[in-house]
Structure 1
C-alpha cells in the first residue's frame, strides 16, 4: 500500500520575501523549510501513517534511548529544479537500501523503499517553493531523512519505539568560486571506525569520531583529515564524510574496497559505474597510504579526488602528515578526470544532460 500521510499545513509559513533572501545565499544546512515529515514505529504495531506538519522542535523523554545508546541513522540527498520547473532527486532507491542496511546494523526497523521515496515526495511537494531555481549555480534542496530510538528506558537493548523523520534545507555549493583542491592531513592517531564496528552504517557516531582527526588536521593547516584502517594504520579508509578515488597512470580508477569500515557512498557507487565513460577501469582494492605518498611523486597517481552528496566531487591537493608532505596533482581546479566526472554527475542531476542510466527520480 502507498504511504498515507496526514497533512497539517504550516499556519504561518515564512514570508515569500524572507524566503527569497535565504534562497539568494542559503549556505549549507543553515535554514530549514516550513515543514517536516514524521512516522512512528512500535514493536507492537510496526510503522504508522506519516504526518506532515510544521517544522519545529522534537519533544523527547530525557530517558529516550537515542540520548543514551546512540540508536540513530540518517541519509542525505539533494533535490534539483530542472528547466521545466519539475523537481528531481538522484538514485533515492539506493539511499533507501543504505538506510535499511544501516538500520539492520543499528538494530532499528527497516522502512520499505517505496515509503522512503514517498516521504521525500510528500515533503518536497509541501515545500516546493524552497527548491532553488534552475540555472542558479549549484543550488539544491538538501533532504535529510533520519531515524532514532525514542523509547524511554535505561538499559542496553533495542528501542521498542522509533521515529523516522525528513527535514529539508536549501543549499548552495560548499565551494566559493568553484571547486578548489583541499589539503588533507593523515590522521595516524585516530580511527574513524574499526573492524566489526559501525563504519559501513550512516550513523552519527562515525561522524563524531572523525571530529578529533579533523581538528588535528585543521591545527596543521589542512582542510580535512583522511583516516587509515584501525588494524594496521597503513591503508586508506576514507575522509570523515567522503570516499577517496585515485586516477592511476595504468588507466585504472582505484578506490579503497569496502571492508565494513568504509561508508558505501551513493556517489562512490556512481563514479565506479561512470568510469568507462572516461576510458578508465574501476578497481576496488586496498590502497596503502605509502602508495599515495609515493605515487603522486612518481606520477603513478595522476589525480586524487573525494566524493559525497554534499560536494559531489572534490579535488584533493597536498597530503600532509607529522613530519612530511606529498605534493598536489590537482593544479588550481583539479585534474581532467576530476573535473569531467564532477560535471557529468552535476549536469545529470540538474537535468542539463541526458540521464542514460535511469538514475533520476521525479518528486514534483
Structure 2
C-alpha cells in the first residue's frame, strides 16, 4: 500500500454552478496526484498536491520521443450522494500493458487504484450531481529524463488529474455519421495499437480533421495491412449487429481493449446474443446494409459509453442504419451500463467500487 502524503490547496477554485455547461476536459479540480520513478528507488514519493503547472526542461525526453501512456476513467455520484468508480482494476491492468510496450516501469494494480481513489476522495466535492455528468479521471505517465537520445528513460512521473465533465459528444446520444478511412491507417501488427499512448492519437488527427470537414463525427479505421477489415473508431471500439449477431474486431494487437467494450460484450452474452470477435470486412458490412441485415451499429468507450451510428460512408457508398434512430439494443445497452455506473441499477457483476471517505 502506498503511503500517500496529502497537501490540500489553500486557494480552492470556484466550482461550476451550471453543470449543463461543463463540456469535456476543460475544467480541472483543485488537486492532482503525483509519484516519481528513478532507476535507483523505483516508484516513490506518492502525493496529492494542489493542481499546478509542471516545470519541465525543454530537453525533457517526452517532448522529443513521446515515451508516455495514459488512461481514461470516470467517477460517478449516485442518488444517495456516494461516489463510485467503474472497473478501475481493468484500467490499471491495461495501464500495465501499455507501460510494458512503451518500456515504462509498471505500477502495481493496487497502487494505481489506491492513487485514483485517494485523489477522487480528496476532490469528491467536484464530482457532478446532475444526471449524465461525471468526474473524468486522466492518469498518465511520461518520461522526464533531460537530454536527447532514443532510449528508455531512467526517470518518470505518474500523474492523475480530474475534470468534471458533461456528455463527451455535443450531439449527445443522437446517432452519428462516420467516415470509413481507407487511405491513412491507425495501427499495424507489432506496433502500439493496443496501448493508450499519445502517438496513436496524434497519428489519427489528420484523418479526423478531413472527416470533420466533410461533416462526419468520427473516422472508422480499417486494418493497416489490407485496409479491408474494420477495426475501431477514433475514440471508441465499434460493434455491428448483423442479422441478429454482434460483430466486433478482436483485440489482437491493433485494437484497444476497451473496458466499456469488455463490459458490453459481457452484457450481450448474458442476454443470449452471439458475439463474434474477429475479422469483418467493410465490404461485408456495406453488403449487409444493402440487404437490410445491418440492424444496428454502435461505438463503445469511457467518454461516450455507447454511441449509436446512423450512417457509414465508404468509397462513395452510404449505409443508412436503424432509420437514423437509436436501435433498441443500443438503447438497452446504454441504459443498462449507465444505470450500473450511476447506481440506478443493481450491480450484479461486481463492477463498481465505492470511494469511501478517508481524508
TM-score range, shorter chain: over 0.9
- Aligned with residue 146 of structure 1, among 140, 143, 149: 140
- Decide whether the 8 Å contact of 2:59 with 2:146 is kept in 1: yes
Distance 1:301 1:3 in 2: 50
1:115 aligns with 2:111: yes
Give the Cα separation in 1 of the matches to 2:145 and 2:9. 27
**CA positional deviation for 1:330:** 5.2
Aligned counterpart, 1:299: 292
Shift in Å, 1:81: 0.7
Deviates more, 1:171-180 or 1:89-98: 171-180
Query: Match of 2:151?
Result: 157
Tell me, yes or no, if the aligned pair for 1:255 and 1:285 is still in contact at 8 Å. Answer: yes
Structural mapping, 1:223-262, within 5 Å = 223-249=217-243, 251-262=244-255
The superposition leaves residues 298-338 of structure 1 with CA deviations (integer Å, 9 ceiling, x where unpaired) of 12221110010000000011111343222222532x10110
Match of 1:168 in 2: 162
Residue range with higher mean Cα deviation, 44-53 or 347-356: 44-53
| Worse overlay, 32-41 or 271-280 | 271-280
Alpha-carbon distance in 2 for matches of 1:296, 1:240: 22
The alignment's TM-score, normalised by the length of structure 1, stands at 0.95
> Would you say the 8 A contact 1:303–1:330 is kept in 2?
no
Aligned residue among 323, 346, 353 for 1:361: 353
Residue segments in structure 1 that go unaligned for 5+ positions in a row: none
* Residue 232 to residue 23, structure 1, CA distance change in 2 (3 Å): same
List aligned pairs for 1:88-103, cutoff 5 A: 88-103=84-99
| Counterpart secondary structure, 2:268 | helix
1-side partners of 2:149 and 2:351: how far apart?
Answer: 42
Moved more, 104-113 or 177-186: 177-186
CA distance in 1: counterparts of 2:276 and 2:155, whole angstroms? 42
How does the TM-score come out when normalised to structure 2?
0.96
Distance 1:235 1:310 in 2: 25
CA distance in 1, matches of 2:337, 2:137: 18
Alignment of structure 1 residues 325-336 onto 2, 5 Å: 325-329=318-322, 331-332=324-325, 334-336=326-328
Return the alpha-carbon distance in structure 1 between the equivalents of residues 314 and 240 of structure 2. Answer: 19
Which residue of the partner structure matches residue 345 of structure 1?
A: 337
Q: Is it true that 1:179 corresponds to 2:173 in the alignment?
A: yes
Distance 2:96 2:16 in 1: 36
Shift of 1:178: 4.5
Which of 37, 42, 46 is the aligned partner of 1:46? 42
Structure 2 vs 1, CA of residues 64 and 313 (structure 1 numbering), >3 Å: closer, same or farther? same
Q: Is the 8 A contact 1:315 1:330 kept in 2?
A: no
178, 185, 192: which one aligns with 1:191: 185
Map 1:114-133 to 2 at 5 A.
114-133=110-129
Alpha carbon RMSD of aligned pairs, Å? Answer: 1.3
* Contact 1:181–1:330 (CA under 8 A) maintained in structure 2: no
Deviations 1:126-149 (A, max 9, x none): 11110111xx22000000000010
2:76 counterpart of 1:80 = yes
Moved over 6 A (4+): none
Residues 13-66 of structure 1: CA distance to partner in whole angstroms, max 9, x if unpaired? 013xxx142535211101000000000011111010311111011111211111
Question: What stretches of structure 2 of length at least 5 have no aligned partner?
Answer: none
